[in-house]
Amino acid sequence: MDRDALRSNMTAVRRLLHGTGVSHRPHFKAHKCLEISRLQIEFGANGFCAATVGEAEVLAALDTSVLLTSIVFSDTNLGRVAELRATGCELTLVVDDAVTAQRMSSALTARGSAAEVLIDIDTGRGRSGCGSVDEARQPAQQVEQLPGLTLGGLQLYAGHLSHLRDPAARAREHADFRGLVTRHREALADLLPAAPIITGGSTGSLVLELRDPVLSEVQCGSCALMDVEYLHGRLDFTSGHRPPTGARIECGVPHCDPSINLFDVAHVVSGDVLVDVWAIDARGA
């Protein structure tokens, strides 16, 4: 891991965000390394996103705010998040239906704790989230009525925008996304706090997110390390230029998240000098 490139990337993100009023809550899954997270705090990160309960448990060591971006439903995972809140972790949760909100309330209150909750909105990926304003209103109203839960805002993660290679197509899709954000925020204004959290955004769409922003925070994670794309690759020697047996081939990392998760530690270099070894603290979490 190139320490100088890492710091340069963080400097670039801080420069882009400066003066926009948008805060940075990077995804921990991009590197799963607490040393990198500490650097991100130094460069202005306002807490972190966790994709799993295990990541949230590791991040609790930093004594910073954590947004668990995935919906939890099982008794086991609800018990784990309730324990995190009970032990003082500043943890925000997301829901997309009233049943999940009820189960979350029961788990938290049983442990004598409470949590801020965001309503997850489907931005077109079809993975999770409410599919319409009317659908989002139901869990939002439920959260308002349940003990142990406080409605804090909305999550609208449109990660698919980062994978549109054509800039014009990406801009068109982002304009539709902006309309989606605005519609939900305005339609749910009677339930949302005066200054709600509106979270989403990814590295590939960051520049678009910062033009007249509709998000209050961005979740860009891979911007710290940078990668190529979420692609699988292979070596093609059909041209006849086959390297000799035993040759070492350096490859650009196509997707940082699952690549880093294969290792226990990262060897940190500055130029050609090894300067540190950092644990991948949440490997497998």
Answer whether residue 233 shows pLDDT above 80.
no
pLDDT tens for 182-221 read 999 999 999 999 999 999 999 989 999 999 999 999 999 9
- What is the arithmetic mean of pLDDT over 50-75? 97
In the chain, the percentage of residues whose pLDDT exceeds 70 is: 99
Beta bridge partners, 120, equal 155
pLDDT tens for 133-152 read 999 999 999 999 999 999 99
Residue 132 pLDDT class (50, 70, 90 cuts): very high
Residue 257 pLDDT class (50, 70, 90 cuts): confident
pLDDT of residue 211: 92
- What is the arithmetic mean of pLDDT over 246-262? 84
Answer whether residue 90 shows pLDDT above 70.
yes
In what helix (H) or strand (E) does residue 208 lie, and over which residues does it extend? helix 206-209
Q: What is the pTM of this model?
A: 0.92
Query: Is the Cβ–Cβ distance between 30 and 256 less than 8 Å?
Result: yes
Answer whether residue 81 shows pLDDT above 80.
yes
pLDDT of residue 74: 94
Q: Where are the alpha helices (DSSP H) in 112-196?
A: 133-145, 167-187
d(CA 208, CA 205): 5
Neighbouring CB atoms inside 10 A of 63's CB total 9
| Range ranked top by mean pLDDT from 217-226, 231-240, 252-261 | 217-226
- In terms of Cβ atoms closer than 10 Å to its own Cβ (0-12, 13-18, 19+), residue 35 is middle
Residue 232 pLDDT class (50, 70, 90 cuts): low
Domains in the chain (CATH in brackets) are 10-224 (3.20.20.10)
Q: Using alpha carbons, select from 16, 19, 18, 56 the residue that is nearest to residue 37.
A: 56
**Which comes out higher in pLDDT, residue 101 or 161?**
101
pLDDT of residue 237: 83
pLDDT of residue 163: 83
- What is the arithmetic mean of pLDDT over 176-186? 97
Query: Is the Cβ–Cβ distance between 10 and 40 less than 8 Å?
Result: yes
pLDDT tens for 147-165 read 999 999 999 999 888 888 8
